[in-house]
Amino acid sequence: MAVLQGSVDRAPGVVAALLSAAGGALLTARAVRTVVDASPAGPGAVAVVVLAALLAVAAAATALRTPRRAAALALGAAVLAVVSDALPTAPPRLLALLPLALAAALLAARVPALTRPARRPWALALGWLALAVHAALGVPYLLAGLVAPWYGVALLWGVWGALLVLAVRLLRDRPLWTLAVPPATVAGGALVLLAGEHLFGWMA
């Protein structure tokens, strides 16, 4: 039980570190491609991407030791990743936002240790599965930019981010309730897109 307790306690930090490292790698590749492809981006735009990559790497390095600081670093990297999308930098765009947002949420709401057998490890495993499904649903949310304007994408990401925080909180306190988050993610995205189509003609 002690080994299981330690593994559960460290799991969010390890996953967040890997996600932050992935976000840093994507941002680094973007900065290198911007320079190599001689895009019209100025040194300021490249500096924003490089700074975001450095923050992501720092979040990965500190995720296990100081999760609160790592959460702030991952969030800062995610914000700079969004800012860089408005600058003339090379693709891939927005891809780094997904792992960085996940890392920030995991670090901000750490899952507590499994201190009682009544917590049911299988329930916690199902909760982690639901969280993984919610993360995967972030991909179609990213692709919403093909049919929705910037404010529509911002609204969709607000929905996804709010449900992500809710999922992590539920995983900590009531793991089985986390199973309700993926259906809510699908329904929330569909409602936003349908409202945009009928009210603002996003898909016209």
44: confidence class by pLDDT, cuts 50, 70, 90: confident
Q: Which residue has the higher pLDDT, 183 or 45?
A: 183
Token readout for 122 is 């299988």
Q: What's the chain look like in SS3?
A: CHHHHHHHHHHHHHHHHHHHHHHHHHHHHHHHHHHHCCCCCCHHHHHHHHHHHHHHHHHHHHCCCCHHHHHHHHHHHHHHHHHHHCCCCCCCCCCCHHHHHHHHHHHHCCCCCCCCHHHCHHHHHHHHHHHHHHHHCHHHHHHHHHCCCHHHHHHHHHHHHHHHHHHHHHHHHCHHHHHHHHHHHHHHHHHHHHHHHHHHCCCC
Kindly state the average pLDDT of the residues 82-101: 76
38: confidence class by pLDDT, cuts 50, 70, 90: low
Q: In the prediction, which pLDDT does 92 show?
A: 66
Q: Which residue has the higher pLDDT, 58 or 158?
A: 58
Q: In the prediction, which pLDDT does 39 show?
A: 61
Of residues 130, 161, 158, 156, the one with CA closest to residue 143: 156
This prediction has a pTM of 0.62
Q: In the prediction, which pLDDT does 59 show?
A: 93
Kindly state the average pLDDT of the residues 135-156: 82
2: confidence class by pLDDT, cuts 50, 70, 90: very low
Is the pLDDT at 6 greater than 80? The verdict is no
∠ CA 124-185-23, nearest 5°, is 75
Q: In the prediction, which pLDDT does 61 show?
A: 94
111: confidence class by pLDDT, cuts 50, 70, 90: very low
Q: Tokens 């941002």 correspond to what residue? A: 27
